[in-house]
């Protein structure tokens, strides 16, 4: 898909907090083998205790166990000031969108196939 997601935050501090939070989710998702959650039986689609603690500590209440798979899949994250850019070949970015919007970001999504120029530098 070659999708690009850009979150523009009101302050650099907000972007820094979200970037740190995403790093922690990615690390915990890898430990939890989150890439398998969506393939599990519905009754087995649960947060680990460590992930649940992390989500509660960051007041991230909109994420579901199946959303965590997105953090375990291949993506790149770049931060520049008050902007965070996520690039991925995956079709679903809803978990990242939830985290960005909950933190008050303005969100832009586009295909780098259709818009190959780096839109994060434009305004």
Are 22 and 54 in contact by the 8 Å Cβ rule? The answer is no
At 83 the three-state DSSP class reads: strand
Tokens in use for 55?
């989500």
| Whether the predicted pLDDT of 121 surpasses 60 | no
Q: How confident is the model at residue 89 (pLDDT cuts 50, 70, 90)?
A: very high
Are 40 and 80 in contact by the 8 Å Cβ rule? The answer is no
More confident residue, 106 or 38: 106
Give the position of tokens 């579901």. Answer: 64
């Amino acid at each position: 898909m070659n999708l690009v997601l850009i979150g523009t935050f009101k302050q650099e501090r907000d972007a820094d907090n979200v970037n740190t939070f995403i790093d922690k989710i990615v690390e915990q998702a890898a430990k939890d083998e989150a890439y398998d959650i969506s393939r599990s039986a519905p009754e087995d689609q649960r947060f680990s205790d460590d992930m649940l603690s992390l989500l509660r500590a960051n007041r991230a209440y909109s994420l579901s166990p199946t959303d965590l798979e997105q953090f375990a899949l291949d993506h790149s994250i770049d931060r520049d000031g008050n902007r965070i850019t996520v690039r991925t070949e995956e079709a679903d970015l809803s978990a990242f969108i939830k985290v960005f919007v909950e933190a008050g970001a303005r969100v832009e999504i586009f295909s780098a196939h259709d818009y190959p120029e780096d839109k994060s530098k434009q305004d």
